[in-house]
Structure 1
């Protein structure tokens, strides 16, 4: 990639994970020519994935970061960047009139991979880009040896205008990658000296979003990480929620009101309407849009049809749960008091994340044995935190979850409670094949094999003990 290192974004910290995505890009490379679409929320690591793959592949490539600017401005900048990276000043002087023309020039120049990063900004400023891309993909790309990679952070634009049924590019991308956050077990790569308990707390704050994990990489303590993320000057979590909503949504203030209601426990459309004063007939639509963007999710108990809504995006959830309560303190410069308040709220806040992590861990542990569904059980006000199901064999693994340090006697009582609840809440015909208790820690006594602790979930192998 001659000259490409000056324009491809520098790596902020060590690249970890993304094995499946790298394999998918390798497979697309082997099948080229072709179109690849990579998308996901801001900061989830799209650019890093693609540039890391380019580094490993060593292909002759051109990378361009699109801007929310005019079509002509983007075309001119793209041509200039291509000329710089290829060491061919003639490309910058050709003045192509369309994106398709410029891509055809690059294909004739022997470029093997072209990456247009954040193409959704270009599309938002100049929708004609979509038609120009379609013309290139349909008429020129098949006769080349080029892999065209488009990335975008505006999830709504990507899913509706690039991949959607009415899009000029519909069904033309042979590879579509929607990047999600990294799994919890990768946090040890960023903060290896921390305790597993503090890694769960950090995951509660920022999830597995690489940008934020890179910001705290090397931090000596959770307190230092919270200073970097929330409390210190320029801390990114103070502004990120508003930026996400403004970029994705036409009426961010309305969606902000909906999210605020969800954060305060109003978890059904009717209750959100009551809390916000919004028209009840519109609230379901707002929730649907937020769910489509992976900002919220509907959590439905296993074997039930009705569920409750909750904020899914970890950074938006943290803004309402941890940032908003200390904004006044931060405004008057009381950073120490703000940090103390966050620390006092953090364990209660982390409990829901711990529950989700236990579900994911047990499903990963038992998936090779036919268990394919994870969730919780609920009926008439009684709830069992975790159930992993083998629906074909009508088998279940269950768990009760506590984000606290338990004595052995307390853990044993919780396990008995889990088994009793399971037999009451599971449908007839299901057998319980194992029961766990998950806790923050154990006080005294030998550790039983059915007790899960945070260290089991972030072990390099990603598995823990089994319980029968």
Structure 2
């Protein structure tokens, strides 16, 4: 089955950029920065686009080699490409990036479009402080005058965003594209699952195409897990390892903090304690780094009253699952005892899923129109206090982080065979009375995996949540 389920929007966008290059004008050259987390399919997407476009191209992937070796590999890649002047690089290896990029400009056609891709661009900008300025100079002076689409690809989200930031050499030279993971709806279509089961699959895979590819359509979650845990090289097992090795090659402390958050610790104080008694300054640095890389998210309560009760979570559902159940037990899997790991997942799945699904539910609700949420319009978040009394799953408000109006209060009940019932309703009404900004007539919204046995609140199920991901 095609990897590009759910990628039509990105392919169409790439096509529009290439169409702009085809247009006549004194400066047809365009630059595009493509970012997304590791193993989300950025490179494969660009490769597919190039194949469909049929235009001459060169695709170079940086690899954190010393500069001289990187330039040699670049020259070899250009020499092997189908650019009209590729043979120029067969006889020479430039000694600087300015020389290499300037010479590259002589290899592209002047009367037809071509594509130049630099993958893992942050490797070059991070290891060579002058590379950004060099790229900017060659782009401004030469490449913009040619029908070239220059595509920079990178997984270090913070560095990719910074490339186009104010004060940086490449500021406002490039447009940006974010390649997201496959959505729950994409996962459902790819794996041929029921709506509720599609959310389970999304929590396992994080919407990463490589993992979804090895999951046979129609296969249940437990059957897939049994297969994946029997193979120490399955994408489910190795994807997180490879991503973490690339993101944090030397930062052992950041990895330790991430593992602690992945194990379920959410507050600053408990993370510090469980991570080995880290000093406040050290933990702050690690959390700042993890947030900058978009690996950890920090949530704050949503109400009409300011709050500093920040809670941390692993942003990627798949990485959260891996850190909870797989990473700590890889040695066991390699010994052929994946059955033990599977048993642990079965025993903890319901409680783990109940919390892990909350961010996915909130994002799904954000995509639904107000009339599908009982008329409640605005931002979707949650509310809690230091003592968790109350802890409210859903708050819909007019703005964040401090609202002026609460539109709705809600609950998420994501259990098999247990619909939202009168006891749940009583608890929700009580919690509504404890939420700053809510009133006795503030509407109630319930998201339930298996429906509701009571009337009153607006009830939203898995199928309605998936509708929020449909592209109009």
User: Matches of 1:126 and 1:29 in 2, distance apart?
Assistant: 29
Cross-structure match for 2:59: 63
Q: 1:153 aligns with which of 152, 155, 162?
A: 155
Classify the secondary structure of the residue corresponding to 1:86.
coil
Cα deviation code 1:100-147 (max 9, x no counterpart) = 123312335544221122223344555554343122112112222211
User: Matches of 1:65 and 1:50 in 2, distance apart?
Assistant: 12
- Figure out how many residues of one structure are paired with residues of the other and give that number: 446
Classify the secondary structure of the residue corresponding to 2:106.
helix
User: Matches of 1:256 and 1:262 in 2, distance apart?
Assistant: 10
Cross-structure match for 1:191: 191
Q: 2:10 aligns with which of 21, 44, 57?
A: 21
Cross-structure match for 1:90: 87
Q: 1:335 aligns with which of 329, 335, 338?
A: 338
Classify the secondary structure of the residue corresponding to 1:384.
strand
The answer to whether 1:427 aligns with 2:437 is yes
Cross-structure match for 1:38: 34
User: CA 1:44/1:417 → structure 2, altered by over 3 Å: closer, same or farther?
Assistant: same
User: CA 1:258/1:59 → structure 2, altered by over 3 Å: closer, same or farther?
Assistant: same
Cross-structure match for 1:100: 101
| TM-aligned CA deviation for residue 260 of structure 1 | 2.6
Cα deviation code 1:143-186 (max 9, x no counterpart) = 222110010123344345x34556433x1433122333232111
Cα deviation code 1:255-301 (max 9, x no counterpart) = 12212322344333333223322221221121011011111111101
Q: TM-score, normalised by structure 2?
A: 0.82
Q: 2:393 aligns with which of 374, 385, 393?
A: 385
Cross-structure match for 1:321: 324
| TM-aligned CA deviation for residue 315 of structure 1 | 3.2
Q: 1:354 aligns with which of 344, 354, 357?
A: 357
User: CA 1:271/1:173 → structure 2, altered by over 3 Å: closer, same or farther?
Assistant: farther
Cross-structure match for 1:143: 145
Cross-structure match for 2:25: none
| TM-aligned CA deviation for residue 254 of structure 1 | 0.5
User: Matches of 2:316 and 2:35 in 1, distance apart?
Assistant: 16
User: Matches of 2:16 and 2:333 in 1, distance apart?
Assistant: 49
Cross-structure match for 1:180: 180
User: CA 1:90/1:326 → structure 2, altered by over 3 Å: closer, same or farther?
Assistant: closer
User: Matches of 1:323 and 1:114 in 2, distance apart?
Assistant: 39
Query: Unaligned stretches of 5+ in structure 2?
Result: 22-28
User: Matches of 2:251 and 2:228 in 1, distance apart?
Assistant: 23
Contact 2:364–2:469 (8 Å) recurs in 1: no
Cα deviation code 1:279-330 (max 9, x no counterpart) = 2122112101101111111110103331111121223312221114544532
Cα deviation code 1:425-464 (max 9, x no counterpart) = 141679624x232223259x7999833332332359759x
The answer to whether 1:418 aligns with 2:417 is no
| TM-aligned CA deviation for residue 339 of structure 1 | 2.0
Query: Unaligned stretches of 5+ in structure 1?
Result: 1-11, 464-468
Classify the secondary structure of the residue corresponding to 1:62.
strand
The residue correspondences of 1:46-445 to structure 2 (distance < 5 A) are 46-86=42-82, 88=84, 90-95=87-92, 97=94, 98-108=99-109, 110-124=112-126, 126-160=128-162, 162-164=163-165, 167-169=168-170, 171-192=171-192, 194-218=193-217, 220-227=219-226, 229-249=228-248, 251-275=250-274, 276-303=276-303, 304-306=306-308, 307-324=310-327, 326-366=329-369, 371-379=377-385, 381-391=389-399, 394-405=405-416, 410-427=420-437, 432-433=442-443, 435-442=444-451
User: CA 1:213/1:29 → structure 2, altered by over 3 Å: closer, same or farther?
Assistant: same
User: Matches of 1:201 and 1:428 in 2, distance apart?
Assistant: 32
User: Matches of 1:119 and 1:261 in 2, distance apart?
Assistant: 30
User: Matches of 2:392 and 2:62 in 1, distance apart?
Assistant: 48
User: CA 1:263/1:139 → structure 2, altered by over 3 Å: closer, same or farther?
Assistant: same
Contact 2:225–2:342 (8 Å) recurs in 1: yes
Query: Mean Cα displacement is larger for which, 56-65 or 247-256?
Result: 56-65
Cα deviation code 1:32-52 (max 9, x no counterpart) = 422111112211121133233
User: Matches of 1:350 and 1:129 in 2, distance apart?
Assistant: 45
